[in-house]
Structure 1
Amino acid sequence: MSIPSQSFEQYTVAFYNVENLFDAIKDTQVLDKDFTEFGHKNWTENRYQKKLKKISEAISKIGFEFTGKLPAIVGLAEVENKKVLHDLIMQPKLAPKKYDYIHYNSPDERGIDVALLYDTRVFKLGYSEPIVIELKNKEGVLEATRDILYVEGVLAGTPVHIYINHWPSRRDGAEATDAKRVEVASQLIQHIEIKDPNKKRIDPHLDINEAHHVIIMGDFNDDPENNSIKKGILPQGFDNITAPLKKFHRGTLNHQFKWNLFDQIIISESLHNHVSGSLYFYKADIFDGIMLREWKGKYRGQPARTFVGGNYKGGYSDHFPVFALFRRN
């Protein structure tokens, strides 16, 4: 007889690209005119509130069937500012759970940033900062790109270092932009390697406070087999726990009827451990239930998007969330 998963002390860590979570207010500091009432997207307060409701509903269900509770940590991409994060955690599905958030404005010209939501009852924040990424074009001029959000804290008694990413897009072609993502991976690893690199490895002799537990999550705009991930990150003592989820018929986003797994969670090898009292990785999955899918038409089975091109569809996001379950030894 199997033991119900709720019998274990376990926590959900998730990542979700929420597809342009903008408020309906014009911000003179960024290019957000499209997401205003008289902009190209005709983004009204009503549409904004509908988006908040849908995203909060989705977050409330990530991992719930396994843990019976909402996620402890949720990394987010494509959020505009602190206002949208405040409005999100005040939604009825999330407000009772005591979430807080971490956000810094990044240099992204459209004003879309990464952020972290966390349950204040199980995650104790220690420190956070944006990691500024320096990318130069062929002329040696710096290009504006999104920061990486670094957060240090204690998750259910286990110290962790969390990195939230949204890497440069493939808009100009995958091969033409590959070097940008490889460079971002290099700068990320440089930040991580400031600490003892060997403490990311599996070592049964390291106690709960000695190991350097790292969780890297994000929309990498690359698949697990691409150079930025496979060669840039994994050899440095990491395991891509979401890589096995990519299938011909499954992923986190669909482009021209082809699945990609750009949304991933990568952990240090140290999170595969048997250390007493420590969290350890149990399983990962894509949250791609029917509620988040198109249910008819030629896009059936794909993410139910807010927009398809310039057409408003009122869905959730063009990405599915990914999540990982961690249990305590």
Structure 2
Amino acid sequence: MRHDDRTTLPYVVRTGDGVGHLVGPLAYTFGNYKIEPLAPPATIPVVEGPIPQLEQPGPDEFSVATFNVENFFDNKEPHRPSDPPKPSRAEYERKRDRIVETIVALGAPTIVGLQEVENIGVLEDVAAQPELAGYDYRAALIEGPSSRDIDVGFLVRGDRATLEGVGQYQAPEGLFSRPPLMITATLHTASAGDVTVYAIVNHFISKAGGEALTEPRRVMEAQWNAHLVDQILAADPNAYVVVLGDLNDYYDSAPLRALTDGDSPGGQLVNVLGALPPEERYSYIFQGVSQLLDHILVTPALAAHQVRVNVLHINADYPPPDPENPGPRHCSDHDPVVAVFRVGE
């Protein structure tokens, strides 16, 4: 449902709400059928409960999440992007607190890869909040060349893992405006001992310039990730490697196939979202069409230990919130994705 002037909208319609007594002429503009109501329709809102709380990983498990947090900027100067403007302190804190609430709802993942983060300071601020303080999250971020100051980063649970190394891997000729960030982490499990995991977080180029024009670049970005994975697998063919992030393309698209159906081992990863039924495979909604843009792909050695995967549908299905009473939903335009693996007995 769409309303052309939000300032006159007397209600907010969310996914699942009922709409009745919708009467008016049928129009067709910009590729969509529309009804021009003669009178305000009746709505039957769905009562919203608290957001779902996913289970934390067990003593022999670890979890990996990806979350595009949509323009997570601090309240300090300099603020380079003209859009959106620099948030007020209150706006920044509301955004931060809702991101914290989402991480808790995801079951406090062992490793969280984030996109659209301004700097490491905002990640450290997230980690320092009381709701997360007990997990001793460690932040990792290296600023890249993005003109909008949106970078990729990690939060790693210090109570469950040791962050061993962080590196940014720009492809030749500056392919990425948000270069991939790789971490090496040692996970501490109850029965399997210490386990090494490599994770590479990405934010591929969007389709804003047109899908046909931008897809070749996303394919090259995917191929560069496959190359990075190849280098790890050359030293250890059974390494646990995760490629994750907002890849800005679909489950069966050419860029994703470059990571799952490529010629080298690094291009033969397993997309963990394949374990979900198709109707649950979405993390973003554009003009009413649900899409899966956020992915977690792993090497076959790690895929053998997959326990479960969830897309926490708390953002994409919901309209932007009331700034004065934001609530827990729609703190971003993307839904977060989390996968759990069991490596011990």
User: Distance in 2 between the 1:185 and 1:86 partners?
Assistant: 29
SS at match of 1:326: strand
Q: In the alignment, is the contact (CA less than 8 A) between 1:17 and 1:319 conserved in 2?
A: yes
Note the C-alpha offset of 1:161.
1.0
Larger RCO of the pair (alpha carbons < 8 Å, separation 6+)? 1
The counterpart of 1:122, out of the listed 150, 160, 184, is: 160
The counterpart of 1:227, out of the listed 218, 229, 254, is: 254
* Residue identity matched to 2:85: F
TM-score norm. by structure 2 comes to 0.74
* Residue identity matched to 2:274: A
User: Which has the greater radius of gyration?
Assistant: 2
User: Distance in 2 between the 1:229 and 1:250 partners?
Assistant: 14
* 2:226 pairs with 1:169: no
1:151-230 equivalences under 5 Å are 151-156=183-188, 157-197=194-234, 199-200=236-237, 211-230=238-257
Note the C-alpha offset of 1:170.
0.5
The counterpart of 2:284, out of the listed 240, 253, 258, is: 253
Q: Counterpart in 1 of 2:90? A: 46
Q: Counterpart in 2 of 1:9? A: 60
TM-score norm. by structure 1 comes to 0.77
SS at match of 1:193: helix
User: Distance in 1 between the 2:157 and 2:56 partners?
Assistant: 20
Segments of 5+ residues of structure 2 without an aligned counterpart are 1-54, 189-193
* 2:62 pairs with 1:31: no
Note the C-alpha offset of 1:144.
5.9
User: Distance in 1 between the 2:337 and 2:239 partners?
Assistant: 23
Note the C-alpha offset of 1:53.
0.7
Residue correspondences, number: 278
Q: In the alignment, is the contact (CA less than 8 A) between 2:67 and 2:115 conserved in 1?
A: yes
User: Distance in 2 between the 1:313 and 1:181 partners?
Assistant: 38
Q: Counterpart in 2 of 1:302? A: 317
The counterpart of 2:339, out of the listed 315, 324, 328, is: 324
User: Distance in 2 between the 1:26 and 1:302 partners?
Assistant: 33
* 2:141 pairs with 1:108: no
Q: In the alignment, is the contact (CA less than 8 A) between 2:57 and 2:63 conserved in 1?
A: no
Deviation by residue 1:1-20 (Cα, 9 ceiling, x = unmatched)? xxx99877322211111111
RMSD: 2.6
Segments of 5+ residues of structure 1 without an aligned counterpart are 37-42, 65-69, 136-141, 201-210, 274-279, 294-300
- Compared CA separation, residues 221 and 306, structure 1 to 2 (3 A): farther
Note the C-alpha offset of 1:323.
0.5
Q: Counterpart in 2 of 1:145? A: 177
User: Distance in 2 between the 1:6 and 1:318 partners?
Assistant: 26
User: Distance in 1 between the 2:280 and 2:109 partners?
Assistant: 26
* Residue identity matched to 1:285: N
User: Distance in 1 between the 2:57 and 2:222 partners?
Assistant: 36
